[in-house]
Amino acid sequence: MAGAQRGEETNSTIGLNSRFEGKFAVKGSIRIDGKFEGEVLIVDKVFIGPSGKVKTNIKATSVVVEGILIGNIHATNRVLLLPTSRILGDIQTPELIIQNGTILKGRCTISHGSDQDARELIQSLYDRDGE
């Protein structure tokens, strides 16, 4: 997703001073520099720019946040929180990168897609005798 930061072409853009409300599903990537509010954002890759304000739950492969997000993130690959990011919500992903300056209020679950709950998995590994 770093390419979107360098101006790589995205399938969709919600530009500065633009606003979108509702359910949004994108095959490919989206860059949000304006405001998005909705039930859910379903996309392959999402980049929330420094002026972006998003209030929804995100389901994506990769997520990069540089602006404001109120909502939960479920990413199957990676979440990158840049220094100006402000997040209020829970994050579930196999890889989470948080840069200095980020403000995050929520729970983070780092898991590689196992069907077993992370708490149960860790507890069962701890409880094993002699292994």
Tens digits of per-residue pLDDT, 23-35? 878 888 999 999 9
CA–CA gap between residue 11 and residue 61 (Å, rounded) = 15
Answer with the residue of higher pLDDT: 9 or 102.
102
Cβ 18 vs Cβ 1: under 8 Å: no
Total count of domains within the chain? 1
Least confident of 5-9, 13-17, 104-108: 5-9
Answer with the residue of higher pLDDT: 30 or 122.
30
According to DSSP, residue 47 is labeled: E
130 — pLDDT class (breaks 50, 70, 90)? low
Query: Domain containing 79: what range?
Result: 2-127
What is this structure's pTM?
0.82
DSSP string of 84-111, one letter each residue? T-EEES-EEES-EEE-TT-EEES-EEE-
